[in-house]
Each structure stands twice: as C-alpha cells, then as structure tokens.
Structure 1
Amino acid sequence: RAKLEEIHARIDDRRNLLPEMVKRRNQYQAVLSECIRRLDQLGRVYAEKASRLETLRELAETHEGFFEGVRAVMSAHKKGVLKGDYAVVADVISVPKGLEVSIECALGSSVQDIISDTTESAKSAIRFLRENRAGRATFLPLDGLRSHSGKVSDLNASGVVGLGSELVSFDARYERAIQVLLGRVVIVDGIDNAVAYSRKASGWIRVVTLDGEVIVPTGAISGGIRSGRANNLLSRRQEIESLEKELSQLESERCSVESERQSAVADLEKVSLEIESLENADAEDKLLMVEAERQASFAEQECRRIRSEIDVVSAEIEDVVASLKKELAAAELLSDEVSKASVENTTLDDIVAEAQARLEKLTKERSTLNEELMELSVTLAAVRERRAGLEQSIVQLESSIADMKLRRAAGMEEMERQSAASSANAGERSELVQRLSSEESALAEAQSKLNHLTEKRVDVSGRYTAIDLELKKLNHARAEASESIRSCDVKEARLEVQIAQVAERLQEEYGISAEEALARDEPAEVERGTATEVARLRREIRAMGIVNTGAVQEYQRISERYEFLVSQRADLEDARAKLQEGIQEIDKSTRDLFMNTFRVVSEHFDTMFKRLFGGGSTELTLTDPSNLTETGVEVSVQIPGKRLQNLMLLSGGERALTAVALLFALLMARPSPFVLLDEVDAPLDDANIERFADVLKEFAGDTQFVVITHNRATMEAANTLYGVTMEEPGVSKLISVRLTDESERRRVGAEVIASDSEPVGVS
C-alpha cells in the first residue's frame, strides 16, 4: 500500500508539474517563432540596404551624375593616366542633416569642382580634356588658391546658424579649397534674418538660408524651387555612411536575435527533454502501478484462500472438541458404573478390571486428545493472529483496489478514446494504403516511361557524340584556317611596314618616291665604296646638326631685346624699392594715426558712457594688435551694478545706448559737419532718451543732426520737424515746422504722435 501511495503521489506531482512545463515549452516555441520572424525581417531589410549601398558605391566610383569632364578626369586618374591627387568637392565634404539645401545653393555648380594638389596637375588634366575632347571641368589647385582676407564677424547675430566652412566636415588637406568655396558663406535660418544680416555685413559675404534663398553682396536675392542633381551628389556620401552604420546596426541586431534564437532553442530542447523525462517516468510509474494492482489481486486471492483454510481448521477444532466432550461423558459414566460395581459383588472384578483397563485406555486417549487440543489451541491462536493481520492487509488492499479501480476506469476511458482515435487512424491508414497503391501504379507507369526515355536518350546521346566529334573536327579545321589567316595578316602587316620604311628611306636618302623607283627599268650602276662614302658623309652631316642661316640676325635682335629688358628690369626694381619705402612710411603713419585715434576714442567713449549710464566703465581692445591694418575692435562695458561683459551680451536698449556713446565719442575725436541718425532711440526708454537728447543738443552746436524718429522726447529737443502724413487714403502730404520755444515743441510733438504719420525727421 505504501508503495502504491508513493507511486500515486509521484504521478500526481507530475500531473501538476506537466502543465507548467508544457506552458513553458509553448512560450519558448513562441519566442523561437518570433526570433525566426525577426531574423527573416532583418535579413530582408539587410539585403535591401546592402543592395542600395552597393548601387551607391558603384555610382560613387564611376562618378555617375557628374559632368562629362569631371567623369573623364576622375576615370583617367583612377586608371593611372593622370598623375597627381584629384578629388571632387561633393566627395570630400560631409554635410549635416538639414543643411543639404543651403550648402547646395551656396556651392551651385562648384559642387562638381575638382580639387588638385598642384597647379601642374590641373594643367595636365585640362590638357587631357582638350586632347581627348572629353568636356570641361573647373579645378581648384591647392598650391594656387588665394583665400579671402579678413574674418566674418557677428556670427552670433539673430538667426545665424554658422559659417559654411565650419558647418561641413572634410579632410584637413582640403581646407584651403573649402575656405575658398564656403569661407565667406553665412547660413541663416530664414529670409528675414538673412536680409537683416546682409545689410549689416561688411565685405564680400554671401548669405544663404536653410530653404535655399541666396543673398549676394550686391543685394540680389535668388530663391524658389530648384531642380537638379547637386543635392543627390551632396547627399550620396552621407547616404552611404548612413547605410553603412545602419547595416552595422542591423548586423549587431541580427547577432543579438540569433543569440536569442539559440538560447530559445536550447531552452526548448531542455524543456522538451524534461517533458519527455516526465512522460517516461509517468509511463514507468503506470507500469509499476499495474504491477502493484496485480500484486494486490494476488494478495486478495491469497487472503481468500487463508480465510477458507481458517474456516476448515475451525471446523476441525469444533469436531475435536465435541468428540472430546463425548469421550469425557462416557468416562464419567464408566466411573459411575465402576463405583457402583465395587459395592456389589466381587464377582464383578473381571468387569471392574475390564472397566479399569478400558478407563486407563480412555484416560490415555484423553491425555492424547488433551495434547492434541493444546496443539490445536496454539495453532488456532497463531491462525487467529495471522487472520487479524490478513484482515488488516485485506482492508488496506481493498481501499487501494478501490482507488486503482477508479484509476483503471479512467484508464479504460482513455483507452477507449485512444481506440476511437486508432479506428480513425485506421480509416486514414486505409485511405493512405489506397493512395499508396495508386501512387505505386503511377510510379510503375512513370518508370516505364523513364525506361523508354532512357533508351531514346542513349540513342540521342550516340548521335550527339557523333555530331560532337564532327563539330570538333570542323572547329579544329577552322582554328587552323584562322591561324593561317592571322599568320598571313601578320606577314602582310610586316611587309607593309618594311615597304613604308624602304619608301621613307628612299625619300630621305635619295630624294625619290617609291613609285619613281619602281618606274625605273633597270637599277643604276653603283661604284665600289660609294655606299661607305655616303654613310660617312651622312654621319658628318648629322654631327653638324641643323644649320640656321639667320643665326647672326637672330643674335643681334635677341641682344637688343636683352639689353632693353635689363634696363626695364632695373627701372622696375628702383620703382619697387621706392614704392616699398612709401608703403612703409604710409603704414607707419597709418599705425600711428590709428593708435592715436584709438586712444582718444577710448577716452571719449569712457566719458560719454559714464555720462549716458550714470557711471560704469568701458574697455576697447584690439582683436589682432600685431596687424593693425586688418584688426578688429571688441567693445566691453561695465554697466553700473553689473560685471564687465561683451557688447553682444547686453540687452537691446543697453546695446543701443552703448552704440550711441561710441558714436558721440567718434564725433568728439573727429567732428563731422553733418550726421544722419535713423531711429537710434527706438530701443531706449524715457530716461535714456532724455540723456540722449541732452547730449544731442550739446553736439548740435558744431554738427547738424538729421534724426529719423518716432519718439516724442526726441522731437521736443529738435529745432525743426519734417513729417509725412496721409490725411486722405492714398494721398501723402509733407509738413515742416520750425520750433521756437519749449511749449511749441511739446505741442507739435504731441500732435505728430497723435496723428497717423510716417517717421518724422528732426533737425
């Protein structure tokens, strides 16, 4: 029973564990399916991108999409026909994402310019294009390029993205070429900021917006939609690099998914092995359970046999006890008879002796029966104990048998289901047998056709072999004929060369043509030694070289030209020395004048700044003190209550008031009779405008100011007002007012502000 319970416990544990294992197996199978799907998807994407990358690389190697001349030069350079270093601008720069359109418009057709290492390389390439009629190309020789002088300033202005040469990336050896193309190109976010920046910019600067609008230094603006292939040329390299990175990422992702797939396969195999082990163990336990049921059945039969034996022994014991009781009763009757006979007659001694003998015999039988009774009693006790143990075992076995019967019933149901499935499989099997028979008949028919076709194939193969042999003979004959023709062609070409050489020799040495020589009837007679003498004379003539009959006149002409050029060179050298001395004097005086003016302006700027701001300090510094002719000036100011900082870090009003202070400082250093100010007071508040007006009045004594303004306080400080008003729609009217006193100024200023007028000019 304990063994059966242990088997049942193991089977129950497996039944509880098996669903979880099956669930895990299904999960691993799902993970494996997902990994396979992802691998297939990654494989398709990888193949597509790899194909696109290969196509782009082929286009880049052949320079497809470039001008004919560019393709010809790069192809010749690749084949080694052109020596030197050549590279196309589109191939050497890498444009960040979002700047393709602006850089395209900034470069224009220069995106297909060829960068060469030297001027000689560029000349060789141009000569190659001209000789081969292969088109035109523009070259940028690195040793002959001249970059723009000066730096582009105010790159921190509103909307400025940066300088074109600084936004793209390239190899350092091409820096000079890129500086020439993009060193003076400023990229701005929008057209409004581009226009504002171009108005403030000084020098040759091209402003390009992110949408492709271009503002050239002359002020012309170009824009709109542009179609072409330059953008493809610029983005091709970027796309190649992007595809290489994407392929690397896809490869890494594929490796990761492949490791996941291998892990899922390993886990699936492990779980499948565990499930198989559980199923095998369950089958073994079921076999053990069947064996235990068989042993229980045998124990039940043995129990029934022992019970029948116990019943037989009990019956025998009861028979023996009854017989013993009868014998005891008979002995008691005899004892009574003996006691009666002893008092009667002595004649009865024989009867008494016989009775005593009979009594002794019965006594012995009684003792024997008593011994047998004791033995049977012991046996009965042992049998009873064994019966009790068997009864207990029978109870246990009956409960186990009942449990096994329940399990057996479940097993029978399972067997019935399996039997039903087996019957269905039997139907399928019969159908498969029928199909197999039909397939076998079709196979036999196909085999017969195959044998027939094999025979035909052998026949055709024999004919093909014969034809092939004949064809080989014909090919051999044709090869021999071709070789003979080629040999004849070679001989013909050799003879033609020899004929040409002989004809040339006749023309050069004897002055006659081949036709004239062939036209002679008989060869001329030549004396002995004539050929040797002719050869000697020719050698001497060749040693003399070409005779120039006009060498004397040429010498005189060149001598006169040489003397003239020497005198001209001396004059030029003297003029250059004098010019260098003058330039040095001008540079010295210019530097002295600039430094003196710079110091004076610095002092006046500090004074005017303190007056306008009510304190603080200023600092003017040179950006390149070693080169005063091209240096810039940085303005740093300390507003009261703040730290010293650059002009660009100030607010709009502070920057405007600082600029006004610098303007008045320049006027103090170098007064001007006339100054035009266009809305310089727009960012200022009322208090700063009053200080500005006071200073303006002081300078008005030596300088005439024309101020365009909307501000009433500035108008009140003016002597004369000029304005444009529109009393009727579409009709403008010019007004002028000369102010004599303070009240008149305030009244007119209020009227002008209240009216719908254009900016007013004050004087």
Structure 2
Amino acid sequence: PYKDLSDRKGVVGYAIDLIGFEYKFEAAFWYVFRDTLIVDTLENARRLIGGLRMVTLEGEVIEKSGAMTGGSMGRNSGLSFAAAEKDKLFKIAEQLTEFESRRNTAIKKLDAVEGHIADIKREIHEFEKEISKKEMIFEEIGGRAERLTQLIEAKNNELEQIEGERAKLREEMEQVASRKVEVEGRSKELEAEIAVLDEKLSDSEVPELNKQADHIDEELRRLDGRIRDIEADLNALNLDHEYASKKIEDDRQLIKEMEEKKSTHRERVAEFKAKIAELEFNLGEKQRREKELTEELRDMQQKRALKQTEYNLAEKDFASVRSKLDDADKAMMVLEATLNALVDQTKDLKEELVRRGIEEVEDVPNYETVSTRIASIEKAMERLEPVNMRAIDEYDEVDGRVVDLKTRRAILFNEREQILSRIDQYETLKKDAFMETFHGINEPFKEIFHELSDGSGELVLDDNDEPFNGGLTLRAQPKEKTLQRLEAMSGGEKSLTALAFVFAIQQYRPAPFYAFDEIDMFLDGANADRVAQRVKKAKGKAQFIVVSLRKPMIEAAERTIGVAMQENNITSITGVKLR
C-alpha cells in the first residue's frame, strides 16, 4: 500500500516492517503506524518531506505537512574532552554496526522460521479445506440417499401398478389363448371347407378375430419389453443405492482419517516449533564454529598456496630435466644404431675378405678398397640420417643437470628434515612455555581468589596432554557456595573472580601500571576493603590508577585526586596526599 524508498539515502524502513507482531493484529498495528517512515537523521528526512510521516533515530517527528516536533539536541558544555568523546562515538558506531548485523541476522532467521510456520499453517489450512470438502460431499451423499430412497419408493409403486396391469394382461392372454385354441380347432375343421366358403367367410368375424389376436400379441410383446425395462431400472437403482451406501461409508472412514491426520499435524506443528527453537540454538553454535573454522581455513589456504608455488617450481624443473633426458635417450639410440651399422659393416668386410682370400694386413689399403669402404660407410651414414651431431654434448649437459638436481634434492630433503625437527622443537617449546605460564598464573589465582572471597578457585585445561586441542575453564567456588558457572554468579562474585585472574597475571608478569575504573562498584563493604588491601599489597611491583567512589579504596590510596562538576559545567580538581 506504500511505495518502496529503501534505495533513498538515510532511509531505515517503514515502522510497521521493523516490528514483530502476530498476523491477527495486523489491522491494529497498521492503524497505529500506517505509512510512518524511519529515517536516520533530520537532514535526510528534510529531503523526503511531503506525503509521508517520518521519525528520525533521535526522535524528531516530521508530519506530512512539514511540521517538526520532538527530538533532542545536545548541549555544548564549557569544557569538553574531544578525543575521548570521539573514541566513544567510534565505539558506539562500531557497536551499532555490530548490533545492526546481529539484528539483520536475527531478522533473516525469523523470516525463515516464519516462512516455515506459514508453510505449516498453509498445509493445515489445505487439510481443513479438504476436510470441509469431504464433509460437503458427505452431506451431498446423504441428500442423494434420501432422494434415491424416494425414487426407489416411487419406482416400487410404479412397479406394483405394472404388476397389476401385468396380471390383468395375463388373464386376457389366457382368455385369448383359450379362444385361440378354439379358433385353431375350428380352423382345422373348416380347412376343408375354406375353398368353398371363401366368399361366405368374407363377411364373417374370423378376419377380425385374427387382427385382434395379432394386436394382443403385439401388446403382450410391448408389455414384456416394458417389464424388462422396469426391471433394468430397478436393478440400476439398486446398484446406485449400494454404491451410494458404500460411498457414504468410505467418506465416513476418510473423514475419520482426516481427523486423525489433523491431530497428527497439530502435534507435528508443536514438534516443529520445538525443533525450530533447537535449530536456532544450534545455528548460533554453528555460526561461532564457522568463524573459527574460517580463520583456520584462511591460514591453511595461505600455507597451501606457498606449498603449491614450491611444488610448481619443482615440477617445472623436473619437466625440464625429463625433456632433456628424453633427448639424451634419443641421441643414445642414434649412436647405438650407428654402432650396430658399423659392426655389421665390419662383419661384411671381413666376410668379403675371407671370400676373396685376402688376408688382413696392417698395410695401407689400395684405392679401390678405400673407395669401396667409403661407399659402404656413406650408405650406412645415409641409413642413419638425420644424425644429431651434438647428441654427446647434450647428453653430458643433461647428465650434469641430473647430478645437480639429485644434489639439490638431497639438500632439500635434509633441509625438510631439519625444518620438521625444528617445528617439533618449536611445538615442544610452545607447549612448555604455555604450561609454564599456565602454572605460573594458576597458583597465584588460587591464593588470590581465596584471599578475596574465602573460597576456592582454579584454572582447568580441557586436555592436559594436548592443551592446544581444547580450551581453558575457570572454576570458582565462593565461600559457602556451590561450584557454579561464571554466568550464574552475581555481579560481585564475577567482579571478584575477574580481579583475582587479573591480579594473578600481574603477579606472574607485572606491567608498569594498571588503570581500574570502578572495579569495586558491585562489591559490598567487606569485599571492597579486601580488594583495596590487595591493590595496596601489589603496589610494590606496579603503579595502580583507580577510579573509585568507595571509602576503603580511597583510604588505601597514597594519593587521592578528586574531580567534581561545578556550576556552568566547570570541572574542579583537588588532590590530597594520605599518610
């Protein structure tokens, strides 16, 4: 019913879209909010004046006419702390952003849950509609049964009338049959006289009787056909009655099943609501776990990228060496082929010498012998073409490269073993340092917690053997109280537990100074005095700056600075040295 302005600057949304309510109260909420638009600032609201009622986040109300009411404006004080206020504003802005993100997430989850509930309601509505249809069909079948009963009674009455008429027709048929027998007997007696009496009989009653008999026979056939039709109608009506009865029974059974399904769906709706609550809880846990896994995955992806880069470089070098090795293998094959050819040629020459009876001598051969040998060598060389003349040099280069790569591989393997050994050493050192710190903080925590609360407390690891695989639990049991979770403690107990942990860390590894802001605000007088004495006890290792309004803390301080607000927003500062 209103236009979409979500793309306009500063528009948060319509008020009716930003609140949750049950669907049945929609008319009431629409009457209250109507087209009220929520805008972040008054400046952005001025750009949209006209036709809409707007409210800013500061509370200013801009009517459709342009009139502005309400809101609040900050006052400029005489003395301001701009930097501190700016930091606070930044923190508030970050918190607003975080809350807005959480709100959007909650709205999305709520929309999903409402969508699921709407689907279930729609399914229930469909079942109710189907049940209503079945009930209407059942009522219609009941009405049809009454009409069929009336129709059957009418047909039965008509059948009784037909039976009466049929009885009368049977009597007439019997009479006609007897008369027919008489006539047939008489016709047999008169057959001999037919030829003579044809002219005389032309004026007699016999032809008329024959016509009447034919008419009666035709009427009997018609009545027999009518009786068969009526019996067929009765059979059809009986079948309809049986079908209607069966249909009524089936519909009753179906209505019963629908009622059972309806109750079952109601139970399922309740189960779905419980399951929705459980899923929302699990969703929060899974989102928290997802953030942790995202951080771990990001670190693993960076490590994987580095390893992949190293692997690609090594693979590239290996491919280059492999290619050169293949070329060297080919050159070796060519040389082996040349060697085999020369061996064959030598063998042929020796056989030729033996065949010709020439003895091998060390003397210089004649011209023909040399020419023959040169020709045979040229033929052998032609068979070996093309020949890589640099095969031996390339083989030497590849062999040198292989030796170099094997050396480098051995160096990398040794470096890898050294790195893994160092990683193990670092893990051991990390674990030892952690356990040393853990025990160094745990022991003071036990003492300080007992000093502050007269109770017992300690730090517990989920996995003592592998502390980085689990978490750390802080167990605290104040005096005369049961062991309980930190969330179940009161405000004062939480403050004492947190302060005991801070003082334990300070005792293990002190910092130059500490700034505490009203740490005794939730404590009673006795506990506030204990905290003040603890601060006073720890002052030898560090300087403490404490903001407090409690008497025990002020009395335990070496120097007190008082800050008060006077008239006209003027701050007055006083200092007193306590002995």
TM-score by length of 2: 0.37
Name the larger-Rg structure: 1
